[in-house]
Structure 1
Amino acid sequence: MKLKRKGVGEMLRSPAMQAEMLRRAEVIKGVAQATSPVGDAGDPHRGNYATSWETDSSSRGGRRRDRAVAYVRNTSYYARWVEYGNGRPSGPAHHVLLRATEIGGRN
């Protein structure tokens, strides 16, 4: 049996592959939500970061736009500072998405 490039491309863009990528993204999103910092009682944005996680998928992802992909992102405007820190001791890096990917990416 010979492997055909066209068939591999169809498999990588298939609805089943896209569904699997989205399933994996949902697992990562669940871990990210569970491990997100929520802030203390005086925080005006308490819990906003944890509830701002979302997923999306596409059958046209990758560098060549030739495979199914899924994305996990946080829509809060300060998500970058939570993930990477703000350069001050008061705002350390939490690496929520990095850790969620390491943990949830195994499932």
Structure 2
Amino acid sequence: MAARFRPSHRGIGELLRSEMIRRDLVRRANRIKSTAETIAPVGGPGDPHPGRYKASVVVTSTTRGGRRRDRAVAYATNTAPYARWVEYGTERVPAHHVMLRAARAGGD
């Protein structure tokens, strides 16, 4: 007869906060960042800030993330002031969905 599995909830919590998990999440976020930089739109000659969106993709991480602040997390975000409009579009500009497409393609 097989032994019954009894999880250690404390051990699972330690694993979710571990540096090993945070490093893997940062590695995945960096892959997403790389993909986002590759597919990011760059303005033409009339753009006052060509390449600003592309250069504004950053990766951040912590071991105090999640809803209860008890997990390792890593984020790939864009800090350009107009990143929302590039991602979701406006009535005049089509949505590019750069971060969404990068997350779908670059996570693993």
TM-score, normalised with respect to structure 1: 0.93
Match of 1:19, SS? helix
**Distance apart, 1:2 and its partner CA:** 2.6
For residues 22-57 of structure 1, give each alpha carbon's deviation from its aligned partner in whole angstroms, at most 9, with x where no partner exists.
111000000000000001122111111001110000
Equivalent residue, structure 1, for 2:100: 98
Question: How many pairs does the alignment contain?
Answer: 104
Match of 1:44, SS? coil
Work out the percentage of aligned pairs sharing the same amino acid. Answer: 54
Note the 1:60-79 alignment, pairs <5 A.
Answer: 60-79=64-83
The structure with more radius of gyration:
2
Note the 1:10-25 alignment, pairs <5 A.
Answer: 10-25=14-29
Post-superposition, which runs of at least 4 consecutive aligned residues in structure 1 deviate over 2 A? none
Match of 1:45, SS? coil
TM-score, normalised with respect to structure 2: 0.92
Runs (5+) with no aligned partner, structure 2: none
Residues of 2 paired with 1:9 and 1:53: CA distance?
Answer: 30
Residues of 1 paired with 2:78 and 2:67: CA distance?
Answer: 22
Residues of 1 paired with 2:47 and 2:69: CA distance?
Answer: 41
Equivalent residue, structure 1, for 2:61: 57
